[in-house]
Amino acid sequence: SFELTQPLSVSVALGQTATISCGGDDIGSRNVHWYQQRPGQAPVVVIFRNSNRPSETPERFSGTNSGNTATLTISRAQAGDEADYYCQVWDTSTVFGGGTKLTVL
């Protein structure tokens, strides 16, 4: 079965740029979606189809996808960005990455 690999945790200084990776075999050929999940809340999509932002997502969030790695980039990180982030693809079934806990220092 298809597997997605994410770092368990990422730390970023307030106002700096955070990058969260999502690795998978030839993931660049698939549509990748990213979710933000704050404690006790349901996930919310922040990037869909690799690099598209819902209207509610700040422009500070961006996504890229190429080769074996998709990346979520959060510019000018804020305290409110602290959350778990999950990538997701479809490969004969829906697959989620293991999730990355983002800490804003």
Binding residues (CB under 8 A) for other proteins: these are: 1, 30-31, 33, 35, 37, 41-45, 48-49, 54, 86, 88, 90, 93-99
Residue from 5, 3, 55 nearest 46 by CA = 55
Return the number of the residue (28 or 44) whose C-beta is nearest other proteins.
Answer: 44
CB of 10 to other proteins, least distance (A): 15
Return the number of the residue (33 or 74) whose C-beta is nearest other proteins.
Answer: 33
CB of 15 to other proteins, least distance (A): 28
Rounded distance, CA 81 to CA 40, Å?
15
Rounded distance, CA 68 to CA 3, Å?
11
Kind of pairing between the strands at 100-104 and 83-90: antiparallel
